């Protein structure tokens, strides 16, 4: 298997050379990084942009008329332009820059949902959500007397779509669905969901955290109302992210944070806020981080999703086959449309013990509940191991991963 070419069109070794961290060793072994759903590694262009910002351009955004301030503002705003292109937003002004998906969803919870919710209303989500797409809704539900309902999934880890549609009853004011599950890799049929929500006049928020690193996203074609994403899973620095929303929502939503940068005029008898998106961006943002995120987007654009997606799917199939050959391995999530995330357990071994021993072999995988308690409850397990792939992973790494499982299995069982 090792002798097979990596890909006739995708030169993964050349791509790996762009990621300085991938060449390091861990416990004396070559690093095999399979925790990409947690956070991706960063190409040198991103690291250099952050470094260059502090070495050459550091200043605050918007407030300065001097050249450094202009350069810092241009770098920050270039991330907004890049994101607008990346997710096909109609206008750069429909992109609010945030610290990540968590902030983006909380912004919608407090600025959009809370003022609209009342006793008896509900928010519909699904059993496969990350806590970031559950807990904010519970917090605003507790304040407003609304309820949070969760649509079920099946044993394959797919949303039972007809059930979801049945649950879109008149008291539902907002639906919140992940585009791709961070635990199962399941891709949800967001277009159909958006169509049904719109028919019923229900706003739809999509958590795009795990989708944007893997597939092209077109928010207009999806037809949702809100799309939340995080930068650090898509090659960008931590503490960067965005919320895209329909213009009418951004116009009607009050600011969530107050402070500098988000106002037009402040008076004690009434403050006038800036227009969206700036009214949602109070305070000094992660300027260096957004300078890096702009480069991350450029990097994706240069590679093209067609190539990266095909390679990731090749790796997903290969890894699933190889893992399935190991006696006692149970894989969670067999969706027809799946991104390269594999959750699994080895019969008789604790997930954390296995992950710890794999780490000693240089293999970085995640073990735990993956911030998805309701999903773990559905499968009746406290935790899983998760190997999550990126386009810079190789077949040889999957072979090393499987060999390491076979080796540590002997120690554990």
Smallest separation (angstroms) from ligand PMP to the CB of 135: 11
Helices (H), 282-412: 287-303, 305-324, 351-360, 373-379, 395-412
Of residues 233-292, those binding ligand PMP (CB under 6 A) = none
Identify the residue whose tokens are 């600025």: 111
Is residue 126 within the footprint of ligand PMP (CB under 6 A)? no
Neighbours of 318 (CB within 10 A): 17
Query: Binding residue for ligand PMP (CB under 6 A) from 40, 102, 122, 367?
Result: 102
Nearer to ligand PMP among residue 183 and residue 408 (C-beta): 183
- Span interacting with ligand PMP, options 42-50, 98-106, 268-276, 389-397, rule CB under 6 A: 98-106
- Does residue 170 sit in helix, strand or coil? coil
Site for ligand PMP in 362-381 (CB under 6 A): 371
Q: Which is nearer to ligand PMP, 39 or 313 (CB)?
A: 39
Nearer to ligand PMP, 37 or 288 (CB): 37
Task: State yes or no: residue 101 binds ligand PMP (CB under 6 A).
Answer: yes
CA distance 129 to 131: 6
Query: What Rg do the C-alpha atoms of the chain give, in angstroms?
Result: 22
Residue 410 CB, shortest distance to ligand PMP, in Å, is 32
Active site residues: 371
Calpha distance 205→396 (Å, rounded): 38
Least spacing, CB of residue 132 vs ligand PMP, in Å: 4
Q: Kindly identify the residues of this chain, within the stretch 18-57, that bind ligand PMP according to CB under 6 A.
A: none
As a whole number of Å, the end-to-end CA separation of the chain is: 27
Binding to ligand PMP by residue 182, rule CB under 6 A? Answer: yes
- Sites for ligand PMP among residues 199-218 (CB under 6 A): 207, 209-210
- 90, 227 Cβ separation under 8 angstroms: no
# of chain residues touching ligand PMP (CB under 6 A): 14
Stretch that binds ligand PMP, among 4-12, 97-105, 305-313, 383-391 (CB under 6 A): 97-105
**Is the distance from CB of 369 to CB of 209 less than 8 angstroms?**
no
**Which of 180, 229, 224 has its CA nearest to residue 204?**
224
341 binds ligand PMP (CB under 6 A): no
Site for ligand PMP in 129-158 (CB under 6 A): 130, 132-133
* Beta carbon nearer to ligand PMP, 12 or 108: 108
Closest CA to 138 of 178, 184, 105: 105
| Shortest CB 237 distance to ligand PMP, Å | 11
Does residue number 178 form part of the binding site for ligand PMP (CB under 6 A)?
Answer: yes
Angle between the N-to-C axes of helices 67-86 and 287-303, in degrees from 0 to 180, rounded to the nearest 10: 40
| Token digits of residue 238 | 């931590």
**Does the footprint of ligand PMP cover residue 320 (CB under 6 A)?**
no
In whole angstroms, how far apart are CA 42 and each of 39, 209, 232, 393, 410? 9, 16, 8, 13, 35
Residue ranges that bind ligand PMP, judged by CB under 6 A: 100-102, 130, 132-133, 178, 182, 207, 209-210, 230, 232, 371
């Amino acid at each position: 298997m090792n002798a097979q070419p990596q890909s006739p069109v995708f030169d993964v070794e050349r791509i790996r050379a762009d990621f300085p961290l991938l060449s390091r060793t861990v416990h004396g072994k070559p690093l095999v990084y399979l925790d990409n759903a947690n956070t991706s590694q960063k190409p040198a262009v991103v690291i250099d942009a952050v470094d260059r910002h502090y070495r050459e351009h550091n200043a605050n955004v918007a407030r300065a008329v001097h050249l450094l301030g202009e350069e810092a503002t241009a770098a920050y705003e270039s991330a907004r332009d890049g994101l607008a292109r990346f997710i096909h937003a109609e206008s750069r002004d429909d992109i609010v820059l945030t610290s990540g998906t968590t902030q983006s969803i909380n912004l919608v919870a407090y600025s959009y949902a809370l003022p609209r919710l009342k006793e008896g209303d509900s928010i519909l989500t699904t059993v496969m959500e990350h806590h970031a797409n559950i807990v904010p809704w519970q917090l605003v539900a507790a304040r407003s007397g609304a309820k949070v309902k969760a649509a079920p999934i099946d044993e394959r880890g797919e949303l039972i779509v007809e059930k979801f549609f049945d649950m879109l009853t008149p008291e539902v004011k907002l639906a919140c669905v992940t585009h791709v599950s961070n635990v199962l890799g399941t891709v949800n049929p967001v277009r159909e969901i958006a169509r049904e929500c719109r028919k019923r006049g229900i706003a739809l928020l999509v958590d795009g955290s795990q989708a944007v690193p893997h597939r092209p996203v077109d928010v207009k074609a999806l037809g949702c109302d809100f799309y939340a994403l995080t930068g650090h899973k898509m090659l960008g620095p931590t503490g960067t992210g965005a919320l895209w929303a329909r213009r009418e929502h951004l116009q009607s939503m009050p600011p969530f944070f107050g402070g500098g940068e988000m106002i037009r005029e402040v008076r004690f008898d009434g403050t006038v806020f800036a227009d969206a998106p700036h009214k949602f961006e109070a305070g000094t943002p992660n300027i260096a981080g957004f300078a890096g995120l702009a480069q991350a987007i450029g990097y994706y654009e240069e590679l093209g999703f067609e190539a990266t997606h095909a390679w990731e799917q090749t790796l997903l199939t290969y890894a699933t086959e190889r893992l399935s050959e190991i006696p006692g391995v149970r894989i969670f999530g067999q969706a027809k449309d799946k991104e390269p995330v594999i959750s699994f357990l080895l019969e008789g071994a604790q997930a954390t013990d296995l992950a710890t021993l794999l780490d000693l072999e240089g293999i970085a995988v995640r073990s735990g509940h993956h911030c998805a308690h309701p999903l773990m409850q559905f499968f009746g397990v406290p935790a899983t191991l998760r190997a999550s792939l990126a386009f810079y992973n190789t077949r040889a790494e999957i072979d090393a991963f499987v060999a390491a499982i076979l080796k540590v299995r002997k120690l554990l069982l």
